[in-house]
Amino acid sequence: MGAKKRESVKEELVELNDKFHKKALLNESFYKQLMQNGFAYHQCLLVHIFPDSSNTYCGKIIRQDGHVIEFDVDLDFGGYSAWEDVTDDFQEVWKKNKITQPWLKEVVAYNLFLELNSTQEA
């Protein structure tokens, strides 16, 4: 049961990140703000994203350096966007649940990020 749930979450993340890396998820403003804030989006892993209002999106992303950033992006007015490093909390969830609840999105996302980075370094 757990393995099936984990694979389902992984497939969902792979599909989301495929769209993200192809710049097919949101408009150019999103990607521009990511780059302005030091993200090499093609090396990042988007954990989740959801609309907060008509042109504002919230979510979490694992940056290319492994830091986890919670964001609230305003596509119209970048000055209103917020970026918060939540790496410590995220890694705590990962460490606490990687054995007991390996299907949690945070666990699957971080494992996928580590897997993708080890592949790129090889």
Residue 8 inside a domain? The answer is yes
Q: What is the mean pLDDT of residues 54-70?
A: 95
Q: In this structure, is residue 62 part of a structural domain?
A: yes
Residue 17 within any structural domain of the chain:
yes
Per-residue pLDDT at 120: 57
Is 121 a member of any domain?
A: no
**Does a structural domain hold residue 122?**
no
User: Is the residue at 47 inside a domain?
Assistant: yes
Contacts of residues 82-90 at CB distance under 8 Å and 24 or more positions apart, as own/partner, are: 83/37, 86/60, 90/60
Which residue range(s) make up the domain with 72? Answer: 2-116
Q: What is the pLDDT of residue 63?
A: 96
Residue 10 has a pLDDT of 94
For the chain, the domain total comes to 1
Region 57-85: mean pLDDT is: 95
With cut-offs at 50, 70 and 90, classify the pLDDT of residue 11.
very high
| Residues whose CB is less than 8 angstroms from the CB of residue 55 and which lie 6 or more positions away in sequence, other chains included | 74, 75, 76
Give Cα separations from 81 to 11, 44, 56, 65 (angstroms): 29, 19, 8, 21
Percent residues over pLDDT 70 in the chain: 96
pLDDT confidence of residue 122: 45
Give yes or no for residue 92 having a pLDDT over 90.
yes
Residue 54 covered by a domain? yes
Q: Residue range 102-114: average pLDDT? A: 93
pTM > 0.85:
yes
46 within some domain: yes
> Residue 103 — pLDDT band, cuts 50, 70, 90?
very high
In this predicted structure, what is the pLDDT of residue 3? 85
